[in-house]
Structure 1
Amino acid sequence: MENSTQSSSYPSIELNGEEFWPLSGKPYFDIILTKSHVKPLYQLGIPPKLDPILPSGSIPMVLTFGDKSWEMTYNGEKRHKLLDRQSWGAFVDENNLKAGDGLVFELKECNKTKIIFRVQILRGDIPDELLEMAARESEKPIVIE
């Protein structure tokens, strides 16, 4: 029988409260980034499930993460709804995003003149300190709380 206090001996990672939050019930979409989302192509399309909610046309869009905002253009007049590459590329680069990272886009505001998404970034890589510990103690599980 395992001791219930044993899990406290494993490392935990502290998360900044500004980076993660429960979804509010507003529309959202999530993606796992691929090579086409990041360098050198910088392409991001909005999934068709949001078509009934988002306006058509070329509309200013804002992505927020933490205390920063990135202004870009939502191109919703075509079949594939895309963000402008230059601004999306700036968001990718400034947040050091890589293929394998997960993003959750929660719609905060949407009208005919502006769209705002709040973004959560879920890094796809495992921190070096956990990898080192796993190599030293392969028989013990790593617990992330």
Structure 2
Amino acid sequence: MVGQRVMYGIGNADADVLEDDSDKCLWCWETRDLKLIPKSLKGVLNVRRVCRKRIQERIAAVSAMISALETPHDHPSYKDDMGKASGKLAKALKEADIRQLVQNMVQTNRTDMVEKEAKLKEKELTKELERNKREVEKEKKRMEMHN
């Protein structure tokens, strides 16, 4: 199987991975193995995946906090639920931080691609110079043999 459907929203135990279309689940089709993707696109896809996971963490934390706030104050687990939800919310990146992460990763990806392209170009030029050098040497030998 080449692709898989991944959920980045609020989980639903009854959701069918292939048929669920609820807005809360935020489904996304992804390639299972990035080896199948051209190298030029891997960085971009990796950035998107990482950021979707950070968004999913934020959604889960906000959802947990909403659930905790909806719990009656006199419920025995109210304080514990609020503490856990607050902890999750504190650990999850805020929207601005997620946006900054995206920008940083995209910039890093661009820089890496430019460096890789420069190295590739350098290798190609080196090979071409070596080829030209061999051709010149072959031509010299031919000229010497004819004289």
- TM-score clears 0.5: no
TM-score with structure 2 length normalisation? Answer: 0.24
TM-score with structure 1 length normalisation? Answer: 0.24
Q: Which has the higher contact order (CA 8 A, sep 6+)?
A: 1
Higher helix share: 2
Higher strand share: 1
